Amino acid sequence: MGNQASDLNFSSTSANPSKSGNGQSRDLNDLEFNNNLLISYLSLRKAVGFIGLFLPLVLALGKILFGGTGLETSISAYYYTKMGNVFVGSLCAIGIFLMSYRGFDRKDEIAGKLAGLFAITAALFPTSPGDALAGSWTSPIHFAAAVLLFLTLAYFSLCLFRKTDPSKPPTPEKLMRNKVYAVCGYLIVASIAGAGISFALRQYPFFDLYRPVFWFEAVAVVSFGVSWLTKGEAILKDE
């Protein structure tokens, strides 16, 4: 299988020539089932990665296609546009997958459930119009959930995805994937910091003029998408 260590490990039973015909048939059926399960799981990783990769672009272009103009102050602010259902649906889809995520050990499972909870919370508790913290009681919950979600996704990229099976040397592709994970993780962390600084300086004209929070969030979401596409073996798959 392409990814090592932190990938989901499915035990496959190889056929034993000394077994009876029925035993061999069961073994082959088990192996085929495990392979199909693995392929489905990798496909889900890719699907989540593609959602992250294209979500900022889809929201921005979708608003324009439906007659809107300009960028919103943040990705979360698209909740109040005609792309609101796309925003909520995408976060919920990501959240449901992450809550069902099974990785290499208990840490992967806990991180997945937390990230899924944060994603669904951010979807169901929207920011206030204009991203004002004091605009509604749901806004602080949304901001807290969004920050925790991005921090958890950074943890996946920087720590969990970079694990390597100690019993075998890493392949060249695995070493390159680890570099991709590291870049994505650090970009997510830097983007969170950049968005926070931008919000702190929102009274200045550049905030509304250049929409820095949207761009920082877009970098974080796209980095998340690239990281999970790599984990799903869409990028740098072992030969």
**CB of 236 within 8 A of CB of 176?**
yes
Least confident segment among 16-20, 74-78, 117-121, 198-202: 16-20
Q: Residue 155: what pLDDT?
A: 97
Q: Residue 129: what pLDDT?
A: 87
Q: Is the predicted pLDDT of residue 29 greater than 90, yes or no? A: no
Residue that wins the pLDDT comparison between 153 and 101: 153
Q: Residue 15: what pLDDT?
A: 43
* pLDDT, mean of residues 135-141: 87
Q: Residue 11: what pLDDT?
A: 37
Instruction: Please give the single-letter amino acid code of residue 149.
Output: L
Q: Is the predicted pLDDT of residue 3 greater than 70, yes or no? A: no
191 vs 185: CA distance, rounded Å: 10
99 vs 182: CA distance, rounded Å: 23
96 vs 112: CA distance, rounded Å: 10
Q: Is the predicted pLDDT of residue 180 greater than 60, yes or no? A: yes
Q: What integer best gives the mean pLDDT of the chain?
A: 84
* pLDDT, mean of residues 131-157: 91
What's this model's pTM, rounded to 2 decimal places?
0.81
Q: How far is CA 228 from CA 41, 62, 223, 232, in A?
A: 12, 24, 9, 6
Residue with tokens 């929207």: 126
Q: Considering Cα of 179, then 182, then 187, then 188, what sign does the dihedral take? A: positive
pLDDT band at 132 (very low <50, low <70, confident <90, very high): confident
Q: Residue 73: what pLDDT?
A: 93
184 vs 22: CA distance, rounded Å: 48
Angle at 190 between CA 189 and CA 194, to 5 degrees: 120
185 vs 224: CA distance, rounded Å: 8
